[in-house]
Structure 1
Amino acid sequence: MIKNLLENFSPENNSILWLTSAFILAFFIAFRTFPTIIYISNRKHLMDEPDSRSMHSKRTPTLGGIGIFFSLVVVMTITGAMLNTKVMLLVMGGITILFFLGLKDDLTVLSPRSKFLGQIFAALLLIVFTDTRIIGLSSILDVYTLPYWVSIGFTLFVYILIINAYNLIDGVDGLAGSIALLISIVFSVLFYNTGALSLATISVALIGALVAFLRFNFSSKNKIFMGDTGSMILGFLIAFFTISFISESQLDANSSFYRASPALALSMLFYPLMDTFRIFFIRIFVLKKSPFEADRNHIHHRFIQSGYTHVQTTLTIVLINLIIIIIAFNMLHLNLNTQIGVLFLYGSLLYYLPFLLKRRINKTP
C-alpha cells in the first residue's frame, strides 16, 4: 500500500499538502528539540555570558542553531527523494559545513579566517555544481551579462556578503529570526508561484523551524539564542534563495521579475545590508578602527538606546522591512536603476522615522 502510494504520489500535483507537511514536520522537530538543547546547555553550562557589549543581563543558552539545523536536515532528507535530489544534497552539504564551523565558534573560538574559508567552500558547492549564479546585472549600470568566471566571483561575493551581514544583525531578541521569517515567507510565495517546488520546500521548512525558534527566543523563562551556528545557516540559506531567485528570473525572459529581481532581492535584504554598510562606514571613517571590531553602533542598538524594548525594536524593524518589500513589488513597472535609487531613498527615510517619532514623544509634556 505504501509502495503504491509513493509511486502514484506527485508533489507537484499536491503542492499545498506537500508544503504544509514540510512546515508541520520542521516545526514539530524543532519545537521538540529546543527544550532538550536548553536543558543540556544549562546542565553543561554552555551559556552566553553577558559582557559590556551584550544586550542581555542573564546567562542564556546559545545553541539554537542546532535545532534549526536538525529540523531542516530531517525535512530535506525525507522530501529530497521526491524532489531535486542534487539541490537538496548540496544545500545539506553547505549548511552542514557551516553548522560545524558555527558550533565550534559557539562552544570555543573559531578564527575569522577559518570561518571565511568555510563560507567560501560551502557557497562554491552550490555555485559550481548547480550552476546557480547571477549571470548578469539586469541592466544595472548598463551591464547585462557577466563573463562566466566574473559571474562566479560576483555570486560568491554576494554569498559572503549576505552570510556575514546576517550574522551582524543577531543582536536583540527575535530580530534575526523574525527578519529571516519574513524573507522566507516572501521567497516561499515566489518559488511556489514559479513552480520551483524544491526551493519552496526548503523555504517552508525554514519557516517551520523559525516559528518554533522564535517561541523560545522571545520567552523570558526558556530563552535560547541561535548563536553563530544559527545565524550562519540562516544567512547561507537566504543567500541561496536570493541567488536562485535572481538566476531563475534572469533566465526566463517571460518572467514578471526578469529585470526587477535584483531590486526585489535588495528590498528583502535591505535591513541587514544597510546596517552592515552603515556600521562599516562608522568604524572605518568615524571611529578610525577595524571594521570587524565589534561595538554597539548597530541600528538595533540605536533603537534600544532611544527607549524601544527588544520586542518593539524587532517588530518595528520587521514592519518597516515589510513596507519596503510591498513598495518594491509595486514598482515593477519602473526602470531597474530607478527602482534601486528610489528603494535606497524611501528605505532610509522609513528607518529614520521611528527615531523622529520617539524624539517627538519624549518632548511632549
Structure 2
Amino acid sequence: MTWIKLLLSLGTSFAVCLLLIPEIIKIANSRNIHDIPNERKIHTGKICSFGGVGIFFGFIISTLIWSFVDMTLNMEFLLGAVLVMVVVGMRDDFLPLSAFWKLVGQFVAIAVLLIGDIRIFSLYGFLGIYELHFIFSYLITGFIVIVITNAFNLIDGIDGLAGSVALIVFSFFGLWFALEGSFALSAMCLAVLGSVGGFLYYNYSPARIFMGDTGSLMLGFLATGLLILFLDKNAALPVTSHLHIVAPLSLLSALMVYPLFDTIRVFMLRVLAGRSPLSPDRNHIHHLLLDIGCGHYYIVGIVIFLNILFVIIFTFIGQMGYLSDNWLVPIIVLTASSLAIYLHRKVKRRREVVNV
C-alpha cells in the first residue's frame, strides 16, 4: 500500500501542475504580466514566469493528501520553511525584490529550519572533522542553504535546465528515502518530481512558461533540507547496510555538481574581475555553450549526462572504499574545473574565428 501511495503522490502532483499551468499562462497573458527580454536573457518574446506557482501547488496538494498524516516534526518545520521561500519567490516574481530582501527572506526560512533542529551536525570525517559545535553547526547549515538555494536560482537560465537538474536530485532522494523506510519524505520527493515533470512539459524549448524565483528558490531550498536529513539518516545506518553511503559528501557534491560548481565559478570570476559576486553577466556555463552554437536541448542533455556520470562514477569509487571524501571532493572540483577550462578555451577560439 505504501508504494502505491508513493505512485499516487507522483501522479497527483503531475496532474495538478499539468492542468494548472495553462490557466496560469492565460491569467498572465490577460493581465500582460510577462518576463520581458533584455540583453542578458535568452528569450526574445514575452513569456510568463510564474511556473513556480504551478510547481508549488502541485507539490503542496499532493503532500497534504499523501504524506501529511505521516510527517515527523522536522518534516513539518521543513515544509514551513519551504512556504517562507515560496512567499519570497512569489513576491519577487510579481514585484521584484532587491538582493538584500531576498536574503532576509532566506534567513527567516533558515531560522525555521534551525528551530526544527534540521542542521548539519557533523562533517563525517571530512578534513578530520566529525561532530560540530552547535554554533558552527548553525553557521555551516546557513551557509550551505544559502549557496545551494541561490545556485538553483542562478542556473535557471535556459529552457528546461533547472527543472531537469531538479529531476536528478529529487529522484535520488525519493528512491533512497523509500528504500530506507522514510516513506513520508519519499512521498514529498515524488510530489516534487511530479510537479516538475508537469512544468517541464511547458518549459522545454521553446518554453511557454518559466519557473521564476518561486520555483527555483523552492526547489533549491527543499533540496538542501532533504540533503541535511539524508546526511543525518545515512549516518544513523549501520555501516554494513547496503544503503549506507560511505562517502556521503562526495556523493552530494556529485549530485549537485552543476549548480554548485557553476555558481562558485561565476562568483570567483566576478570577484577576480573586481566586480560584485552578485552582479549579472553572461559567464554561466549555459551561456558559454550557447556562445559556441549549442541549442537548448543539447545543453540540457550534456549537463544531465555529465551530472549522472559524476554521480555514478564517484558513488562507485566511494562505495568501493578506494578513496574517502577527503580525496573525492577535491577530485570532483578538479574534474569540473578542467571541463570548465576546456569549455572556456573552446569559446575563446570560437569567438576569435567569428571576429576574423
Q: From the superposition, tell whether residues 291 and 77 of structure 1 become closer, same or farther in structure 2 (CA, over 3 Å).
A: same
What's the CA shift string for 1:45-81, capped at 9, x where partnerless?
Answer: 1100000111111110000010011111111211234
State the TM-score, normalized to the length of structure 2. 0.91
* Aligned pairs for 1:180-259 within 5 A: 180-218=166-204, 220=206, 223-254=208-239, 256-257=243-244, 259=246
Do the aligned residues in 2 keep the contact of 1:23 with 1:205 (CA within 8 Å)? yes
Do the aligned residues in 1 keep the contact of 2:5 with 2:66 (CA within 8 Å)? no
Distance 2:340 2:2 in 1: 37
Sequence identity, in percent? 33
Q: From the superposition, tell whether residues 232 and 48 of structure 1 become closer, same or farther in structure 2 (CA, over 3 Å).
A: same
Do the aligned residues in 2 keep the contact of 1:324 with 1:347 (CA within 8 Å)? no
Distance 2:124 2:143 in 1: 17
Distance 2:170 2:234 in 1: 17
Structure 2 runs not aligned, ≥5 long: none
More deviation in 101-110 or 334-343? 334-343
- Alignment length (residue pairs): 347
Question: What SS class does the counterpart of residue 55 from structure 1 fall into?
Answer: coil
* Aligned pairs for 1:1-365 within 5 A: 14-129=1-116, 131-218=117-204, 220=206, 223-254=208-239, 256-257=243-244, 259-285=246-272, 287-332=273-318, 333=321, 334-350=323-339
RMSD: 2.2
What's the CA shift string for 1:213-269, capped at 9, x where partnerless?
Answer: 11000153x610000111100111111111111122223343554541111111111
Do the aligned residues in 2 keep the contact of 1:76 with 1:88 (CA within 8 Å)? no
Question: What SS class does the counterpart of residue 164 from structure 1 fall into?
Answer: helix
More deviation in 65-74 or 132-141? 132-141
Alpha-carbon distance, 1:335 to partner: 1.8
Alpha-carbon distance, 1:358 to partner: 8.8
Distance 2:86 2:122 in 1: 31
* Paired letter, 1:317: V
What's the CA shift string for 1:60-114, capped at 9, x where partnerless?
Answer: 0000010011111111211234312534432332222111211111111212222
* Paired letter, 1:289: R
Structure 1 runs not aligned, ≥5 long: 1-13
Q: From the superposition, tell whether residues 356 and 190 of structure 1 become closer, same or farther in structure 2 (CA, over 3 Å).
A: farther
Distance 1:201 1:260 in 2: 25
Distance 2:23 2:252 in 1: 36
